[in-house]
């Protein structure tokens, strides 16, 4: 479904991604792990075309989306993205946040968009928050709304960028519950995450990034129990010591 081929990205003469290759199959859940600054977020932003790649190519459903003539808006219509800091629109209610893209980008009628939004809110236990403004919600609730907002356009692929990093531990659980449910529904996802326990549970494939290089990829069992690369071993040991696993 998604193929990333030898992607490079530099900022101010410093390489953030150094020739990354990655393939994502339909219904696959890929977890990107690695220290902060290893390039996880940048890779997601490149797929979404929020960043332009400096070399290499990305294919979505066989079409090269990094081609110069590609319309980024057209690609983003087919992708959903959720950010670490939720990025809800503060001047809109929960319902308006969710309905904006279906109505203005996909041309769904108001009534239909609102009905679908309310269905999604009910499914994730937020039915009573439809008319609330984001600043009246907890962090966990805001992030669940952000996920629903990304889902409302029916994306082919969901990109989740450290979606629990800004939440306190009690609220992480409710957001992870939503992602778990999406996996059961067969959603294709790429997650950049620091939640190793969760990655171990939910991922079909785990990729370890280090200094912009995709150093090791494998099943969660292999990566977490028998990592081959010394850098992966070192990273997992440090995570273990900080009791995040």
DSSP 76: H
Nearer to another protein, 136 or 244 (CB): 136
Question: Smallest Cα–Cα separation from 92: which of 83, 101, 84?
Answer: 101
Name 22's bridge partners: 4
Phi, psi (degrees; rounded to nearest 5) at 204: -90, -35
Which of 35, 100, 130, 239 lies at the binding interface for another protein (CB under 8 A)? 100
11 near another protein, rule: CB under 8 A: no
| CA separation for the pair 79, 156 (Å, rounded) | 6
Contact between 113 and another protein by CB under 8 A: the answer reads: no
Count of residues in contact with another protein, rule CB under 8 A: 26
In degrees rounded to 5, what are phi and psi of residue 93? -70, 170
Residues 61-90 that bind another protein (CB under 8 A): 72-74, 76-77, 79-81, 83, 85, 87-90
Among 2, 16, 24, 150, binds another protein (CB under 8 A): 150
Tell me how far, at minimum, the Cβ of 101 lies from another protein, in Å: 4
Q: Report d(CA 128, CA 66) in Å as an integer.
A: 41
The residues binding another protein (CB under 8 A) are 48, 50, 72-74, 76-77, 79-81, 83, 85, 87-91, 100-101, 104-106, 135, 149-150, 153
């Amino acid at each position: 479904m998604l193929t990333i081929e030898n992607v490079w990205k530099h900022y101010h003469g410093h390489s953030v991604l150094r020739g990354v290759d990655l393939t994502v199959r339909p219904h696959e859940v890929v977890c990107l792990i690695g220290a902060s600054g290893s390039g996880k977020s940048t890779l997601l932003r490149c797929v979404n075309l929020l960043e332009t790649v400096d070399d290499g190519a990305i294919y979505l459903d066989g079409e090269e989306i990094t081609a110069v003539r590609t319309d980024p808006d057209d690609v983003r219509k087919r992708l959903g993205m959720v950010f670490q800091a939720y990025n809800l629109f503060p001047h809109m209610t929960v319902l308006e946040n969710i309905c904006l893209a279906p109505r203005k980008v996909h041309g769904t009628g108001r009534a239909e968009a609102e009905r679908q939004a309310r269905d999604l809110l009910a499914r994730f236990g937020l039915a009573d928050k439809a008319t609330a403004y984001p600043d009246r919600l907890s962090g966990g609730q805001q992030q669940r709304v952000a996920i629903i907002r990304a889902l409302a356009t029916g994306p082919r692929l969901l990109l989740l960028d450290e979606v629990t990093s800004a939440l306190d531990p009690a609220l992480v659980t409710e957001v992870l519950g939503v992602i778990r449910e999406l996996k059961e529904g067969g959603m294709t996802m790429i997650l950049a995450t620091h939640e190793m326990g969760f990655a171990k549970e939910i991922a079909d494939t785990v990729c370890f990034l280090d200094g912009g290089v995709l150093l090791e990829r494998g099943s969660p069992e292999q990566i977490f129990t028998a990592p081959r690369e010394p850098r992966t071993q070192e990273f997992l040991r440090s995570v273990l010591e900080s009791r995040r696993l």
